[in-house]
C-alpha cells in the first residue's frame, strides 16, 4: 500500500505551481505574439478567406492560455472538489469567490464555443463530402428521387460558379 507523506517541500507547495505556470506563460506569450504576426503577415493568398478565422482562433487560445496559466491558477485538492487560487488575480487582491465565478463562466463559454465548432466542423465536412465527391452526390440525389437531371443541373451550376470565381463570367 502506498502512503502519501507530506514533506513540506517547495515542489509540493502551491507557490511551485504558480511559479511553474508563470514561467510557462513568459515563454508562451512571445510565441503567441509571433504566431499572430505570422498569421497576419504571412498567410498565403489562397488562404485569405480563412485568415481571420485562424487569427480569431489563435487569439481565443492565447487569451485562454493567459487566463488559465497566469491569472486564475487554481490549486486543487483531490479527491475533494476544493482548492484555492494562487494566480496573479489573487496577488492583486481579487476576491477568490469572484475569481471562481469568472473562471467557471469563462470556461463554460470556451466549452460552448468548442462544442459549436466541433458540430459545425462535422456538418461542413459532411456537406463538402456530399457536394464535391460525385459518387456521394449521386447517391444522395438518387435517394431523393431526383436522379440524372439533377446531376446535369449541378454540373452546370458548379461550372458556372467556378467560372465566376475565375472572373470569366460577369455578375448578374
Please state the domain extents for the chain: 10-132
Contact predicate 63/82, CB 8 Å: no
108 vs 105: CA distance, rounded Å: 5
User: What does the pLDDT look like over 70-100, one tens digit per residue?
Assistant: 888 777 676 676 777 788 888 888 887 888 7
Residues 99-123: tens digit of each pLDDT: 877 777 776 666 666 666 666 666 6
What is the pLDDT at residue 109? Answer: 66
Four-CA torsion 129, 130, 132, 133, nearest 10 degrees: 80
pLDDT in tens, 28-64: 889 999 999 999 998 888 888 888 888 888 888 888 8
What integer pLDDT is reported at residue 36 of this predicted model? Answer: 92
pLDDT digits (tens, 9 = 90+) for 123-153: 676 677 777 777 677 777 777 776 666 566 6
pLDDT at residue 113, rounded to an integer: 66
Query: Using CA atoms, how far apart are residues 144 and 129, in angstroms rounded to an integer?
Result: 17
> Which pLDDT does position 34 carry in this prediction?
94
Residue 98's φ and ψ, nearest 5 degrees, are: -65, -40
Q: Give CA angle at 44 (39, 47), nearest 5°.
A: 85
Amino acid at each position: 500500500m502506498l502512503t502519501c507523506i507530506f514533506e513540506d517541500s517547495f515542489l509540493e507547495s502551491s507557490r511551485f505551481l504558480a511559479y511553474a505556470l508563470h514561467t510557462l506563460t513568459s515563454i508562451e506569450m512571445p510565441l503567441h505574439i509571433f504566431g499572430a504576426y505570422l498569421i497576419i503577415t504571412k498567410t498565403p493568398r489562397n488562404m485569405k478567406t480563412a485568415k481571420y478565422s485562424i487569427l480569431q482562433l489563435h487569439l481565443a487560445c492565447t487569451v485562454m492560455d493567459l487566463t488559465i496559466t497566469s491569472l486564475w491558477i487554481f490549486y486543487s485538492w483531490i479527491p475533494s472538489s476544493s482548492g484555492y487560487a494562487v494566480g496573479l488575480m489573487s496577488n492583486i487582491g481579487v476576491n477568490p469567490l469572484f475569481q471562481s465565478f469568472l473562471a467557471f463562466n469563462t470556461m463554460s463559454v470556451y466549452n460552448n464555443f468548442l462544442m459549436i465548432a466541433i458540430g459545425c466542423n462535422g456538418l461542413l465536412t459532411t456537406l463538402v463530402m456530399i457536394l464535391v465527391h460525385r459518387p456521394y452526390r449521386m447517391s444522395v440525389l438518387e435517394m431523393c428521387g431526383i436522379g440524372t437531371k439533377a446531376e446535369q443541373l449541378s454540373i452546370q451550376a458548379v461550372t458556372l460558379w467556378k467560372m465566376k470565381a475565375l472572373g470569366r463570367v460577369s455578375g448578374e
